[in-house]
Amino acid sequence: MALKSGRGAVDLPGFFGDLVRCETRLYNALNDRLRERHGIVASQFEFLRFLRDHPGARVADLAAEFAIGIGAASKGTDRLEKQGWVVRQPNPSDRRSSLLALTDDGLRLAEAAEDTFTERLTELLGPLPGSSRLPAAAQALAQLRAALERDQIGLPTG
């Protein structure tokens, strides 16, 4: 099936395959570098970065941001807490939930891992042919993500 646009037809199954395989390969490469240098994987780094940038977030906020189930977000948080990188604090406005905060060690790890993450992404994406088109691709993906989130498409069920 092709989608027609002003610039020609796009093979949608091929586009989807390329998008998913690129994401998987980039994620795996980032995983490897983060594990090698910091002993964490990309999903842990993403949680740490989100919590650094969103003080007082809840497990439900992690689940919403990463389009994962509450159980998966809670288990991921448990692992970070066990390592001493995250603490759960009482939520003064809702006794049923906790607010999450990075520890000093968690913050240091997030900062160091972000440098590694950015360095590796630059290595992977910078020398690509057509890298001058990355800003347009980034804008298109951001618009697609915004539309999917706005319409609540692709949220986990159950």
Tell me the domain boundaries of the chain.
10-118
Cβ(3)–Cβ(16) below 8 Å: no
Instruction: Please list the alpha-helical segments (H only) found in 3-103.
Output: 12-38, 42-53, 59-66, 70-82
pLDDT confidence of residue 6: 59
Residue 48: exposure state from Cβ atoms within 10 A (0-12, 13-18, ≥19):
buried
Q: Give the number of other Cβ atoms within 10 Å of residue 83's Cβ.
A: 15
Q: What are the tens digits of pLDDT across the range 40-99?
A: 999 999 999 999 999 999 999 999 999 999 999 999 999 999 999 999 999 998 888 899
Fold classification of 10-118 (topology level): Arc Repressor Mutant, subunit A (1.10.10)
pLDDT for the residue numbered 95: 85
